[in-house]
Amino acid sequence: MRRTTVIRTGLSALLLIGTWATAGFAPAAAAAPADAPATDAPASAGMLTAMRKDLGLTDQQAKVRLAAEKTATAVEGKAVRAAGSSYGGSWFNPDSNSLTVAVTDSGKAEAVRATGATVRVVKHSARQLDAAKAKIDAFAGSAPDGVGSWGVDARTNQVVVNVVAGRQNDKDVRAFVARARQAGPVTVEEGAEAPSTTAAGTVGGDPYYTGNVRCSIGFSVNGGFVTAGHCGGTGASVSGWDGSYIGNFQGSTFPGNDYAWVNVGSGWWTVPVVLGWGTVSDQLVRGSNEAPVGASICRSGSTTHWRCGTLLGKNITVNYGNGALVYSLTQTSACAEGGDSGGSFISGDQAQGVTSGASGNCSSGGQSFYQPIKPILSRYGLTLQTA
């Protein structure tokens, strides 16, 4: 049931994102210097090529960064526990290849530094910032289309509301922003375009179809694959790249969340692979450890194929227009376009999430949003398939 090409390994499976008609959208341990030798960095030749192209890094810089990001991911959980209720957020610093953890209580700083993280003392805890964002979410059911998204930015210790370029003086936008400021520490930024959804074996990034919608596979799970909810409703029939029947949407949620899962049968099978599209080798999926803000991240989709960027923020609420709000998304600088929806976001060999939407494009530049993988697995009681 699967085509064979030189860019697929023997384990490759099919994953795709759809094309959809949408509305318009000083540390305790010193960091490694840029020229330090990298160890245990999951960097294939293709991965290094992608990071040169999309992130402007040399091969050596990319190797050092990947190794540092792996360390930061391991350190983050320990640092969060050390910070306790004083935790104000954390992020990876690509300039220094180190993890920074914000705390509101300077008395916690030494314990956090002992984990290997850099410490910054801030005014607001992550709990306070999340509460402010939740207040905005609570009244935002009719958010104006001129407001693109809002979410916590740990680096500025604020909740950032993004307003679409040229819409900041709209009456309804001004009213929304004024009310948002009452929720807590809020700042406003102007974005270029309104975000929109990017809908256009089972291998992550490969295409599938439901009706006239083309989307991309996210990740294989036991019995099927996960993808974006806006690509199809529960019960919808799914066909593969060759038009043959794969299965049906067994569960789907959009808006509010943007996730779904499809069962796989009829000669199709699942494998723990994300398609590299010839840019990189097909990537094995070995787990789902969550990367920190600031880490490099790559995505695979059936329209724009393999693209990389930086993880910009978590717990972002995105307004796709016409009342379609999606909560708790993660924002990245990797571009995406229509048809990439549902496709894989991966950091090293760790699954991160499935593509929900994007603003801009891959010609002039843009940003993307993904639905984190763990809530999808939890919601449907699924198990990620790993190598």
**Catalytic residue set:** 230, 258, 341
Cα separation, 367 vs 357, in Å, equals 9
For residue 274, list its beta bridge partners: 204, 283
Pairing of strands 186-191, 158-164: parallel
Buried b (16+ CB within 10 A) or exposed e, 103-131: bbeeebbebbbebbbbbbebebbbebbbe
Cis peptide before 255 (omega within 30 of 0): yes
Residue that the structure tokens 């009681």 belong to: 381
Buried b (16+ CB within 10 A) or exposed e, 220-258: bbebbbbbbbbbbeeeeebbbbeeeebbbbebbbbbebb
Q: Are 138 and 157 in contact (CB under 8 A)?
A: no
Q: Are 366 and 340 in contact (CB under 8 A)?
A: no
176, HSE (Cβ side, Cα atoms, 13 Å): 28
